[in-house]
Every structure is written in C-alpha cells, then in structure tokens.
C-alpha cells in the first residue's frame, strides 16, 4: 500500500513506521512526506532517505506550499492510498477528508476522548493529565474527521501515571507505546484487517 505521512515535529512516529516498511513488517511504502515545517526533524528524515516532500499549508511569509486542492492532486499523483498523521499540528482540509474517506489516521498522546481537541498538543496534554489526578494515560489511534481528535477510535494503549511524574517523563512513556501502537495499526491497515461495526466503530481483526 502507498502511504503518505504528515509531520510537523521530530518525526519519531514517522521514523518507526518508515523503518517497519523498509524491514517489510508493514506491507506498505512511504511514498510522500507532507509537512508545514520544512525544517523539522521529520522532514530531514525524509530528505535523508530520498522520500519526496511537499509543504502544506502555504506559509504566510513564503510562496512555497500547496493549496488544499493541489494537496489532493499531489497525493493522487503519488498514488497515495492511506494518510498517516504523525505529530502534524495543522487541521486537515475538508477536501482531503472527502477525497480519502476512512483512510486517514492520527495518533494522539492521551486516552481519547479525554485530553483531546484544539490546544491539547505536546507537553500540554501530559501536564493536564498529571494535574487532573488521572492514574492512567496512553495513546490513541483514530480516523480523522474535520475536527481535532474527534474521529472514530481505532486502537489504544495504556500507561500508568506515576505519583511523582513530570510531563516530560510521562510524554516519553507514552511515546514509546505510540511507536508500537502506530506500527501495529498501519500493519493492519495495509493488510486490509480493519472492519467497521454497524454503528461506525472501526475494529482491527487479528491475523487468523
Ligand atoms: C506524538 O506524541 C503524537 O502523539 C503527537 O505529537 C507527537 C509527535 O511526536 N500527535 P513525533 O514527531 O512522532 O516524535
């Protein structure tokens, strides 16, 4: 399957997915990297590995970057079948959501629907989790709709919140689970092992 990954930051989820495709444990190829931050670590990884890179959205101060329609056209030109958001901070345009129904995944560093939505990104999520007194946090993979973090939940992993946790330590604990969770979800996606319950909830089928 042909995959596009969208990143805005360090890109550790992108890297773990890319490694899995190169190793062959995920039956897919990352054919395109989309970023709003051409200098971010994720974009650098794409350049280092010869993965084509495009900028979306257009930065205010620059002529570089695609419009929503150009983004959809570019994804189609590259034959992209699935889109993986991996620490991409911009909202996804309606044009793209309509062009790729049930084909766009995101990862979020909390147990959604808790601690999601606009403003809940990066360390802010973990700071809020610790302040709430929640004893567990985790990571969520969900399909993407027009809003932040509200699409259908596909998979989750849980981590404990420790009594003396810091946002940084909790972030690290969640991030290492994110890498495993995202790779497993993409593996299932590429193998056609996702089914949809009548009420619209997506489920991962095991291999046998
Ligand atoms: C992850 O915590 C992800 O859940 C969130 O942004 C972070 C991205 O990390 N959406 P990385 O760029 O994949 O290292």
Residue whose CA is closest, atom 9 of ligand 1? 87
Question: Would you kindly state where each structural domain of the chain is located, as residue ranges?
Answer: 1-101, 106-140+150-208
Above 90 in pLDDT, residue 166?
yes
- So which residues are the catalytic ones? 108
What mean pLDDT, rounded, does the chain reach? Answer: 96
Beta strands in the chain (DSSP E): 2-7, 29-35, 53-55, 82-85, 104-108, 136-143, 153-160, 194-196, 202-204
Global confidence as pTM: 0.96
C-alpha angle 151-71-115 in degrees, rounded to nearest 5: 25
Q: Which CATH number fits domain 106-140+150-208: 3.20.20.70, 3.60.15.10, 3.30.360.10, 3.40.50.170?
A: 3.40.50.170
Judge whether 1-101 and 106-140+150-208 match in fold.
yes
Query: Mean pLDDT over residues 181-189, rounded?
Result: 98
- Say how many Å lie between the CA of residue 120 and the centre of ligand 1: 12
Is there an atom of ligand 1 within 6 Å of 149 CB?
Answer: no
Q: How far apart (Å, rounded) are the C-alpha atoms in residues 147 and 145?
A: 6
CATH number of the domain at 1-101, please? Answer: 3.40.50.170
DSSP state of 57: S
Predicted local confidence at residue 63, as pLDDT: 81
Predicted local confidence at residue 198, as pLDDT: 98
């Amino acid at each position: 399957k042909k995959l596009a990954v969208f990143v805005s930051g360090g890109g550790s989820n992108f890297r773990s997915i890319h490694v899995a495709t190169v190793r062959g444990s995920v039956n897919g190829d990352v054919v395109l990297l989309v970023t709003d931050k051409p200098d971010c670590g994720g974009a650098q990884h794409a350049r280092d590995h010869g993965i084509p890179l495009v900028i979306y959205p257009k930065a205010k101060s620059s002529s570089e970057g695609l419009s929503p329609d150009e983004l959809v056209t570019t994804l189609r030109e590259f034959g992209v079948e699935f889109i993986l958001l991996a620490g991409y901070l911009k909202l996804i345009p309606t044009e793209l959501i309509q062009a790729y129904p049930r084909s766009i995944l995101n990862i979020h560093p909390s147990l959604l629907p808790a601690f999601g939505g606009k403003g809940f990104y990066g360390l802010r999520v973990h700071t809020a989790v610790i302040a709430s007194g929640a004893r567990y946090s985790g990571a969520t993979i969900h399909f993407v709709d027009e809003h932040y973090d509200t699409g259908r939940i596909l998979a989750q992993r849980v981590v404990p919140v420790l009594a003396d946790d810091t946002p940084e330590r909790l972030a690290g604990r969640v991030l290492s689970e994110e890498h495993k969770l995202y790779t497993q979800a993409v593996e299932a996606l590429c193998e056609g092992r996702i089914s949809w319950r009548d009420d619209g909830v997506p489920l991962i089928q095991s291999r046998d």
